[in-house]
Structure 1
Amino acid sequence: MASHSISTDPGVDLADCDREPIHIPGSIQPHGLLLIVDAGSLTVVAGAGDLETRLSPEWLGAPLSTLVHQDIAALIAATPSGSGGGVIGTLVTVHDERFDVAVHRAGDQLLVELEPGAAAPMSAGATLSRLDAFATSFERASDLRTLCDRAAVAFRTLTGFDRVMVYRFLDDDAGRVVAEDSDPALPTFMHHHFPASDIPRQARALYIRNRTRSIPNVTYDPQPIRPAAFAQVDLSDVAIRSVSPIHVRYLKNMGVAASASISIVKDGLLWGLIACHHRTPHALSADVRAAAAMLASGLARQVRAKEEAETYRERLRLRAAEDDVVPKLAGATGLPHSVARVKRELRTMLGADGFALVHGRTVVVDGTCPPEETIREIGSWVSARGGGDPFATHELATAMPEAGAHAANASGLLAMMLGEEGGTLLWFRMEQIEEIEWAGNPHKSVSLTPGEQLTPRASFETWTEAVRGLSRRWTLEEVEAAHRLRRAFHDAYQVRQLRDLNAQLTRTANEREALLQQKDLLMKEVDHRIQNSLQLVSAFLAMQARAAGPGEVSDHLREAQARLSAVAQVHRRLYRDDRVETIDLARYLEELAGDMKLSLGEEWASRMRLDLAPVLIPSDRAVNVGLVMTELVINATKYAYDGLPGPIAIVLEQHRNRLRLIVADEGRGKVGDKAGFGSRMMAAMVARLNGEIEQDDNQPGLRAILTAPIQEG
């Protein structure tokens, strides 16, 4: 299951696991052959495997087309652009041995790999029919668990392995087996966890790049690249590249003689793996791997659909509960009385074991809660934290150590201050003692031998670890529902205030209403004045840019004008929306892009495409994301097409509790690092978001990707 590759040099640090260059092993697995070819002359300059026996004794320096019996130049010319640099040739027969041929581009070289073809390959029609049947069964799965169960059966049927597991990555990068189909004689790994160290970061990146991986026989002898001067060639795209010795030992320790993995990539991120094990050597031909990759793509789409459906159902349930609670808040005579009327509904709405209101010395409780004095202490601690956003944690003792004594009743806390009325709402979740089944001791994922060599753990027998002090996690939908409740309590408070004032002094109530209207008018006037000021500054910058004429000064002034537009846009949103703490980032970015289109002109505007998923985000973080997007678009307009209009794509995605903002062009790609004001500002914004920004080849052009948490902390 792991793709663990670490150095065996004496004294190596465990951190080397994440730095090992597993993409340049310098050798291949012996079931295949590798030819390294000069891309200009199409002659073989290096290779690996038993080339003399299986191809030709004079392979070195020979024309590639002669060795593989097909016109490689014609195949390359017929390959569509954007295909990822790979060319799949037809089956060839050399010395009565049939090979599948694959060609990969690698700079000035071509990497040609030959794998033994299937003895009796399925026809295209039979393959499509089988895949269609599997896809239909995926579509009819009622939930994610059923989908994964069916996937395990489907992939085992397709690949013929003894054991097939659906392996899902968790938030802490550890993995869990969520479905399994295997020979009844084998022990089960169902529900077992595997530590994050089993699959280092660079291996996860390769799982996204290469969707299938096969090791037909773990006892193989690596075949080195010859001549040795080519040993450092990047074999990232080569399916038959050699495996790290530590991973081979890992599989042997599991009792596995052959393995394969198929990546489940959802929204460009590694959601999980289809992990396959066999007790004896077992090959997976190129056509079966291609079918498995296609089936995994369909599985990823169904995973996304099931997760989105689950989120939608949760939102509907919470909205229905709100509709039941909110009308009951306004009829009471005060906050404690109001909460007492709906305390049970408030507790069950957010799936809490206990609920409490702290209002001065008054405590209203429902369900299983800590003692009243402890509730008051927790309420005071929440008040001291300040802020208007809900606070949520599934391990309260980590944030408030003194609460650890009451972990049984309060390991999880969702807290919210009510502002004007001075009350604090607390939802508690009990400790959920979870016995996690690990495949071996996770604290011994690697060990040092007497010779100071790193080796993987030898035992994969069930190792149970009890996790204490944790509760069920609060979902983003539950936290957002608490946010809406805060608004509802605020509205109910306003209704009670107005009702009480009307009952006492009608005139005073009318005066108050007039004051509220004046306040609203004043806020609008303030907003109007600020917008006018921002527009004046923007116009001044535009005039200065025109006066400066073409050049660096004019460019800087126009960039400043675009950044000012980003700030003005969020200001308008804050004064226009009812809910200012969080905003829809997609709507904000869409309006910000609209302003940029107006400033850039019709030619740029017509070529700018947006694909924005709705993402709720705190308003202050939205400003930073908007500034980063503005800077990336400005960079694209300046450098991608030498100032001429060209296509620019802006994409916003959400994956669990993180967002991804992608700005991609089809220009000339990265042209060097610019360390100007804009770059420094963007670096500062990314740091404030606690995110990271990557630049990838868009084939053609540049693809800039900002990844950051949706919420801080």
Structure 2
Amino acid sequence: MTAPQEPSSKSSRSLSEALVTSCDREPIHRPDAIQPYGLLLIADAKTLSVIAGAGHIEERLASDWLGQALPSLLGISRARLETPHMPSLSDVRVKGLNGETFSAIRRNSDSHVYVELEPLQEEKLLTWDIFGEIDATAERFELCPDITEVCHKGAQIFRQLMGYDRVVVYRFLEDGSGQVIAESRSDALPTLLNHHFPASDIPRQARQLYIRNRIRVIPDVSYEAAPIRPQSAGLSGMDMSDVQLRSVSPVHLQYMKNMGIAASASVSLIVDGMLWGLIACHNVTPRQVGEDVRAACRTLAGVMARQLRNKEELVTYQERLRLRNAMEFLSSRMDTQASVLDSVRALAPDLQTLFPCDGFAIVCGTEVFKSGILPEKSNILLMRDWLRLKSNYGVFSTSNLEAIFPGAAHYPELSAGVLAITLPFQKPIVLIWSRIELVETIEWAGNPHKAGPDEQGNLHPRTSFKTWEQTVRGRAPRWNNEQIQAARRLRRTLIEDHQNQQLRELNHTLNTTLQERENLLQQKDFLIREVNHRVQNSLQMVTSFLKLQTRGTSNEETAKALGEAQNRISAIGLVHRRLYRDDHFGLIDLARYLEELMQELCLSLGEGWKQQLRLSLVSVLISADRAINVGLLLTELVINTSKYAYNGAAGPLRICLTQVNERIVLTVADQGQNSIKLESSQGFGTRMMKAVVSSLSGVIAYNNLSPGLQAVITIPIEISQQQHDFMHPDPDSAPQGL
């Protein structure tokens, strides 16, 4: 029976989805029955009294089994059943009726103890033979070059060990379906090699049980299930997931009958905790497998699973190494001085071979550089616009483009799968690797679109397993995880190269700007030197003129006024000298400036002031123009102290400078008897101080120390724009008529 292609109608998909959902809902772990080749005894976990059982217990074990103590019924000690950390009863042999001997398997739950009894087989594997076979098998697996050879070797070994007519290795695919990738068989059964099976054949809850129970045996598919009895025990619907004798779904039994199988066994292949596949064994006649063979199968399956993981990791490592070497080669050939667009164009042949593909394109704006088999330019631009919206973190990959991008349905022979990188530059660049469709004929073991549940909700497996062919189109070979990760690394490399190039350009611009600033600073330094030289000369001339005037006058008051003027000019000259010597022309250290200012004032006022002066100054950076005004205020206060507090003589004087939040506080305190005159003075100096304090947006206050006076000046370190606008209004904004 063949079919040219898979039905793609909405009704067919709905039928398949309904079937899988219905299979997933079947409670196969709660059958309330066992396979009758063995016996099941269920005892209360506290009393160990048998409360229920299943199978032909009266005919094969004891007629009065119900209610008996489990230890006496089995002929073992109570301690063997009460010790939770010793569940194994592998050495126990239970004598039954009619000369039958059973092996025992113990399972525990919170409230019950389950003991499964299976008849011993006449042929029993020797322990040394099992170990020898395991060692030999492990060596044969290690010598296999790849996964396919491991699976073929595994099928042969398991058939030799278990004696079934057909043994296949069945691997689960990403979509939940499975494929037979290896087989060993006799002529009694047809081949299933390379045949596919739909996901509904092994539903979700069955896969969970395959992880939980590594081996499952059905000696005779025509058995009549043995129910758990008596019903009065109230055990209906109990979880039997761990019971080896658990009865099988009627749907699965009919499925195997339809395949022409009388007995089966399944051994799980678990890789990293996931169900990788199954070793499925089929026989045309009933066949029972003993516990010794099952134990050997579990061990060999573990050995085989480890080798499968090793082979997969080897393939992954080789691909990762190839991509790493290719990336290093690309990085070594990338021109750091060229733009990213120019670099990828120059390296286009190497980029195309980085990921095996049929075509490669570089898209930037409306420009398209392409090589190999690709759609037309207009289609590539449409694909580029769609990719920029769909890319996950800048990288997108698919092996079935037409399924998510309808426009690709018109050219599967040109592009069916893509791997794309989007570079988020000001003018985005998109790199596209494209693969054409790979027309594939899949052989299914029967039509996978079997009928769904009937009107009563009962499931019916398909009846035919003849090869059913499906032609798959529109799909390309998938991109593996290593290639996708390498694409992410390539994207990061190209973005970093672009950022480095921008940084180099910014550094060049910054260096040019710094050089220009350095030239301007040199010019400014020259001008400052020249201005300072001229200012100092001018101030010296004024000071010399005032000294001459002082010498030439006989009026004492005039001489004092001229002396005060000299002190004020000295303060201005000092600011200019400090400004010239400071590395930061706009800012000066106010504490250092005031200390030097006081040294010069002491020389001007008299040597006695050095012994009377006490300074406590905190370093505060302040603009030069504000420092000039603070210096003028201090000079005026010290001169007034000398004049009013001590009548021109030296006296105790304490000057403090502190910073409180964003304000500075300058305190000048004396101990003179006549200091109160300073507070009430209305002379030129007092009026000048008030004007200067106001220009600094500060306040001045006087405290009577009795004796002495304390002047406290508080000003902000920097003046706000609002205060500046208030004190210096724009003449153009004044109201008309003023």
TM-score, length basis structure 1: 0.66
The corresponding residue for 1:90 is: 92
Q: 1:64 aligns with which of 62, 70, 74?
A: 70
Q: Does 1:239 align with 2:241?
A: no
Helix, strand or coil at the partner of 1:276: strand
Alignment of 1:109 with 2:115, yes or no, is no
Distance of 1:30 and 1:510 partners within structure 2: 93
- Alignment partner of 2:176 out of 165, 173, 176: 173
Contact map agreement 1:501 1:508 (CA 8 A) in 2: no
User: What number of residue pairs does the alignment pair up?
Assistant: 496
- Aligned-residue Cα RMSD (Å) equals 2.6
1:214 aligns with 2:217: yes
Counterparts of 1:270 and 1:358, CA distance in 2 = 42
Contact residue 54 and residue 227 of structure 2 kept, 8 A: yes
The 10-residue stretch of structure 1 (231-240 or 291-300) with the greater mean CA deviation from structure 2? 231-240
Cα distance change, pair 64–507 in 1 and its aligned pair in 2 (3 A): closer
| Matching residue within 11, 22, 44 for 2:50 | 44
State the secondary structure of the residue aligned to 1:375: helix
Contact map agreement 1:328 1:341 (CA 8 A) in 2: no
In the alignment, which residue of structure 2 is the partner of 1:557? none
> Which residue pairs with 1:676 in the alignment?
none
Distance in 2 between residues matched to 1:401 and 1:448, nearest whole Å: 34
CA contact (8 A) 1:257 1:278 kept: yes
**Matched-pair contact (CA < 8 Å) for 2:45–2:112:** yes
| Counterpart contact for 2:188–2:284, Cα < 8 Å | no
| AA aligned opposite 1:234 | D
Tell me the equivalent position of 1:130: 133
Q: Where does 1:523-538 land on structure 2 (aligned, <5 Å)? A: none
Moved more, 174-183 or 91-100: 91-100
Q: Shift of residue 241 of structure 1?
A: 1.4
Shift of 1:120: 2.1
**Residue 562 of structure 1 corresponds to which residue in structure 2?**
none
SS in 2 for 1:246: helix
**Aligned-pair distance for 1:341?**
2.4
Aligned residue type for 2:197: F
**2:273 aligned with 1:271, yes or no?**
no
Question: 8 Å contact 2:22–2:453 — kept in the other structure?
Answer: no
Is 2:61–2:95's contact at 8 Å kept on the other side of the alignment?
no
Residues 290-305 of structure 1: pairs in structure 2 closer than 5 A: 290-305=295-310
Task: Tell me, in whole angstroms, the C-alpha distance in 2 between the residues paired with 1:239 and 1:510.
Answer: 82
CA change 1:426–1:102 in 2 (3 A) is: same
In the other structure, the counterpart of 1:227 is 230
Mapped to 1, the partners of 2:311 and 2:440 lie a distance apart of 25
Deviation, structure 1 residue 383? 2.9
**Partner SS for 2:302:** helix
Give the secondary structure class of the aligned counterpart of 2:449.
helix
For residues 482-541 of structure 1, the C-alpha deviation after alignment (integer angstroms, 9 at most, x for no partner) is 122223323444566678899x989549889x9xxxxxxxxxxxxxxxxxxxxxxxxxxx
CA change 1:304–1:255 in 2 (3 A) is same
Task: State the 1:273 CA deviation.
Answer: 0.9
Residue 331 of structure 1 and its aligned partner are, at CA, apart by 6.3
Q: CA deviation at 1:316?
A: 0.3
| CA deviation after TM superposition for structure 1 residue 281, in Å | 0.5
Cα distance change of structure 1 residues 363 and 101 upon mapping to structure 2, 3 Å threshold: same
How far, CA to CA, are the matches of 1:99 and 1:146 in structure 2? 39
Cα deviation for residue 176 of structure 1 reads: 1.1
**Number of the residue aligned with 1:27:** 33
AA matched with 1:94: G
- For residue 139 of structure 1, the aligned residue among 131, 135, 142 is 142
Alpha carbons of structure 1 residues 385 and 236: separation in structure 2 relative to 1, 3 Å: closer
Q: Is the CA contact 2:394–2:423 (under 8 Å) kept in the aligned structure 1?
A: no
Give the superposition deviation at 1:178: 1.4
1:632-688: per-residue Cα shift (whole Å, max 9, x none)?
Answer: xxxxxxxxxxxxxxxxxxxxxxxxxxxxxxxxxxxxxxxxxxxxxxxxxxxxxxxxx
Is 2:60 the counterpart of 1:54? yes
Residue 309 of structure 1 is matched in structure 2 by 314
Aligned to 1:103, what secondary structure does the other structure show?
strand
Mapped to 1, the partners of 2:106 and 2:484 lie a distance apart of 50
Query: Is residue 261 of structure 2 the alignment partner of residue 256 of structure 1?
Result: yes
Compared with structure 1, are the counterparts of its residues 89 and 34 closer, same or farther at alpha carbon in structure 2 (3 Å cutoff)?
Answer: farther
Q: Is the 8 A contact 1:36 1:111 kept in 2?
A: yes
Query: Quick one: which of 420, 435, 445 aligns to 2:441?
Result: 435
1:339-374 CA-partner distances (Å, limit 9, x unpaired): 332212211111121100011222111121111221
User: Structure 1's 329 and 222: CA in aligned 2 closer, same or farther, altered over 3 A?
Assistant: same
Partner Cα separation in structure 2 for residue 25 and residue 484 of structure 1: 52
| C-alpha displacement of 1:418 | 1.9
Specify the SS of the correspondent of 2:194: coil
Change (3 A) 1:509 1:136: farther
User: Match for 2:431: what amino acid?
Assistant: L
Deviation sequence 1:39-60 (CA, Å, 0-9, x none): 2222221111111111111111
Matches within 5 A, 1:402-551: 402-420=407-425, 421-444=427-450, 446-447=451-452, 453-493=458-498, 507-508=511-512
Task: Give the whole-Å Cα distance in 1 for the aligned partners of 2:407 and 2:169.
Answer: 40
Is this contact kept in 2: 1:501–1:509, CA < 8 A?
A: no
Name the residue aligned to 2:728: none
Structure 1 residue 333: Cα displacement: 4.7
Q: Deviations over 1:173-211 (max 9, x none)?
A: 111111111114531111111111111111111111111
110-119 vs 338-347, which deviates more? Answer: 338-347
Shift of 1:69: 2.3
Summarize the Cα distance change of 1:18–1:505 in structure 2 as closer, same or farther, 3 Å threshold.
closer
Could you tell me how far apart the structure 1 residues matched to 2:496 and 2:102 are?
A: 73
Separation of aligned partners in 1, 2:20 and 2:343 = 57
How far apart, in 1, do the equivalents of 2:224 and 2:215 lie?
A: 21
Q: Any gaps of 5 or more consecutive residues in structure 1?
A: 1-11, 515-713
Between structure 1 and structure 2, the one with the greater Rg is 2
CA–CA distance in structure 2, aligned partners of residues 212 and 433 of structure 1: 37
CA contact (8 A) 2:177 2:199 kept: yes
Cα offset for 1:282?
0.6
Amino acid of the residue matched to residue 469 of structure 1? Answer: G
For residues 526-569 of structure 1, the C-alpha deviation after alignment (integer angstroms, 9 at most, x for no partner) is: xxxxxxxxxxxxxxxxxxxxxxxxxxxxxxxxxxxxxxxxxxxx
Structure 2 CA distance for partners of 1:91 and 1:501, relative to 1, 3 Å = same
**CA distance in structure 1 between the partners assigned to 2:330 and 2:295 by the alignment:** 53
SS of alignment partner, residue 73 of structure 2:
helix
SS of the residue corresponding to residue 315 of structure 1 reads helix
Alpha-carbon contact 1:329-1:492 (below 8 Å) kept: no
Q: CA deviation at 1:232?
A: 2.9
2:366 to 361, 365, 382: 361
The SS at the match of 1:145 is helix
Aligned residues: percent identity? 44
**Aligned 8 A contact 1:356 1:365 in 2:** yes
Q: Structure 2: how far apart are the matches of 1:89 and 1:49?
A: 22
Q: Helix, strand or coil for the counterpart of 1:456?
A: coil
Task: Return the alpha-carbon distance in structure 2 between the equivalents of residues 109 and 494 of structure 1.
Answer: 68
**What is the deviation of 1:106?**
2.5
